[in-house]
Amino acid sequence: MSSNYSIFVKLGSNKELSKLELSVLLKKIGVENIAFTEWMDYILLKLNRNSFTKFFKQLDKTGSIVKAGYINSSVNIEKEDEWKLKIKDHLVMNINKHSSDKNKQLKVALDVQTKSLELRNNIVEFIRTTITNYSKDMKLLTKILGIKKTYSQLTPYQFYKENLHRRGFEIICFVVKSKLIFGITNWVTNPLLDIKQDEGRQTRLFTHGTSIKLSRTLVFLSEVSDEGLILDPFCGTGTILIEALKQKIRTIGVDKDPKCFRATKENLNAFSLKYPAKAKMKDKWVVYSQDSRDLGKTLTDKNLDAIVTEPHLGPFLKDLPSKEEARETMKSLEKLYIKVLQEGSSFLKNNRKIVFIIPVYRYPDGLEVNPNIERIANQCSLLIQERSEFFHVSVPVQIGRKHNVINRYLVIFTNHSS
Ligand SMILES: C[S@@+](CC[C@H](N)C(=O)[O-])C[C@H]1O[C@@H](n2cnc3c(N)ncnc32)[C@H](O)[C@@H]1O
């Protein structure tokens, strides 16, 4: 198989989580093995033509990957004349491609990744003068973004606020060992869409919601394809369900709190109304108000493709509880998870995933108190996924912010195939 398309992927602030998603993405598009370089926050890899096209189509479904694009060329960094010539050609080609009558002001952004500040300044300065001079010659109005007194890379938010996807392009340079590698950003995660979706929600209950980005990641990691069926047995306000529905996955939500049940219904109704095929969307979801420890009564004849959830994580706390209280809480959560997963997994098709989050209390003396994952797996006849297919990620993966009272781990279980 020929591997002749080079791409770069920028990982999110939780690199392990992004690598896990990237690994699932590659598996999904049929990649069997991959040569890659991990460089700062980036992964550089090669794909064949077929995988290359499929790759970019999948990126919108991920939640933690920041951006990706093509690598055009690489040159020896020692040969300054050579790299300057190549970068100039690359810039001129892209300016010509992106400037048109409609594009009154062309915008260009830079992302320069090197550990040497001197080298970075040299590259940034060269690119800046090349663009300025060429624009002057061609009588083009070009705005260079991110370079004022000091250089700073655009955030995804700025990328879309500046309309860069319509009004210009971003050039990317990496200096990896002795090579200067450069290319063009082709995809950036769009936080404006998530903000719009969040503001457009009918009902928000802050203590009951999973973030949109994390929900998208969880759904993606479940590896369910179009028209599959996902269960969220602790559906809160329905964020995971909406992310699944956006991927054309059918969903069942369950929550024992009537307030959450109503919130989920309102959110899903509002989402369905905005969706182009309104009538069809209404048939793709159902929500139940009940205790998930009794799931069996409700699911009866359902065949699930995955269970995806951020479950109840214990009482809302401002400070760490005493170790005794923490142990008690975790014991009761473990019992809850075992019961719900025993009920839910009996409706899973063979060899399917349960993407689950468990809470962890971490004490200053290094003690961690959490529900026992091995015991949950044993009691529910599940296997625990220990690593990713590619990129050597150990699973469970820690998620969430360090200063939170409760830390969280993302766990992936698989049921046995018979
Ligand atoms: C962290 S929230 C879930 C957020 C949700 N995944 C979302 O996307 O918005 C946990 C939810 O579990 C619900 N819950 C707690 N115990 C439950 C049980 N035994 N059965 C069903 N739901 C339960 C709570 O009412 C709460 O809404």
Residue range 65-116, pLDDT digits in tens: 999 999 998 999 999 999 999 999 999 999 998 887 665 789 999 999 999 9
Instruction: Say yes or no to pLDDT of 207 above 70.
Output: no
Q: In this structure, are strands 250-255 and 229-232 parallel, antiparallel, or unpaired?
A: parallel
Q: How confident is the model at residue 372 (pLDDT cuts 50, 70, 90)?
A: very high
What secondary structure does DSSP assign to 366-395, as a single string? S-EE---HHHHHHHTTEEEP-B-SSTT-BS
Domain with CATH 3.30.2130.30 in the chain: 5-190
- 226 vs 207, more confident: 226
* C-alpha of residue 127 to centroid of ligand 1, in Å: 52
Q: What is the pLDDT of residue 141?
A: 87
* C-alpha of residue 402 to centroid of ligand 1, in Å: 23
Best residue among 255, 298, 334, 358 to mutate for probing ligand 1's pocket (most ligand atoms within 8 Å of CB) is 255
Q: In this structure, are strands 250-255 and 285-289 parallel, antiparallel, or unpaired?
A: parallel
Largest CA distance in the chain: 74
Sheet with 141-145: strands ordered across: 36-39, 42-47, 5-10, 67-76, 179-188, 168-176, 105-113, 141-145
> pLDDT tens, 126-173?
999 999 999 999 888 888 988 766 778 899 999 999 999 888 999 999
Contact criterion met (CB below 8 Å) for 310 and 210? yes
* C-alpha of residue 29 to centroid of ligand 1, in Å: 33
Q: What is the pLDDT of residue 103?
A: 59
Best residue among 194, 235, 356 to mutate for probing ligand 1's pocket (most ligand atoms within 8 Å of CB) is 235
Instruction: Say yes or no to pLDDT of 1 above 50.
Output: no
Q: What is the pLDDT of residue 149?
A: 65
User: What's the start-to-end Cα distance of the chain, in Å?
Assistant: 34
Ligand 1 environment, Cβ below 6 A:
208-210, 215, 232, 234-240, 254-257, 260, 291-293, 309-313, 336
Fold of the 192-415 domain: Rossmann fold (3.40.50)
Best residue among 231, 260, 265, 285 to mutate for probing ligand 1's pocket (most ligand atoms within 8 Å of CB) is 260
pTM (2 decimals)?
Answer: 0.94
* C-alpha of residue 236 to centroid of ligand 1, in Å: 5
Mean pLDDT of 285-294: 97
Instruction: Say yes or no to pLDDT of 279 above 90.
Output: no
241 Cα nearest atom in ligand 1: 8
> pLDDT tens, 35-56?
899 999 999 999 998 899 999 9
208 Cα nearest atom in ligand 1: 2
Q: Which residues contact 64 (CB under 8 A, 6 or more apart)?
A: 11, 12, 14, 17, 18, 21, 213, 217
Cis-peptide into 396, omega within 30 deg: yes
Instruction: Say yes or no to pLDDT of 18 above 60.
Output: yes
**Cβ atoms < 10 Å from Cβ of 130:** 17
Instruction: Say yes or no to pLDDT of 308 above 70.
Output: yes
* C-alpha of residue 65 to centroid of ligand 1, in Å: 27
Rounded to the nearest integer, the mean pLDDT of the chain is 91
Is the C-alpha dihedral spanning 10, 14, 15, 19 positive or negative?
negative
Q: Which residues contact 408 (CB under 8 A, 6 or more apart)?
A: 310, 313, 357, 358, 359, 360, 398, 399, 400
For residue 341 the two structure tokens come to 């997963």
Q: How confident is the model at residue 186 (pLDDT cuts 50, 70, 90)?
A: very high
Determine the Cα–Cα distance for residues 81 and 115; give it in Å rounded to an integer.
21
Q: How confident is the model at residue 304 (pLDDT cuts 50, 70, 90)?
A: very high
* C-alpha of residue 313 to centroid of ligand 1, in Å: 9
Instruction: Say yes or no to pLDDT of 11 above 80.
Output: yes
Instruction: Say yes or no to pLDDT of 403 above 70.
Output: no
Mean pLDDT of 179-195: 94
> pLDDT tens, 242-276?
999 999 999 999 999 999 999 999 999 988 888 77
Nearest CA to ligand 1 atom 15: 312
User: Cα dist. 173→93, 121, 150 in Å?
Assistant: 16, 12, 17
291 Cα nearest atom in ligand 1: 20
Instruction: Say yes or no to pLDDT of 206 above 90.
Output: no
Q: Which residues contact 16 (CB under 8 A, 6 or more apart)?
A: 393, 394, 397, 398
CATH 3.30.2130.30 matches 5-190: yes
Q: Give which of 206, 221, 299 is closest to 63, Cα–Cα.
A: 221
Nearest CA to ligand 1 atom 8: 239
Task: Return the bridge partners of 175, or none.
Answer: 180
- Residue showing tokens 């260009």: 108
- 59 vs 166, more confident: 59
- Residue showing tokens 């306000």: 237
Determine the Cα–Cα distance for residues 388 and 410; give it in Å rounded to an integer.
13
- 402 vs 388, more confident: 388
* C-alpha of residue 233 to centroid of ligand 1, in Å: 7
Q: How confident is the model at residue 405 (pLDDT cuts 50, 70, 90)?
A: confident
- Residue showing tokens 């009951």: 208
Determine the Cα–Cα distance for residues 30 and 137; give it in Å rounded to an integer.
47
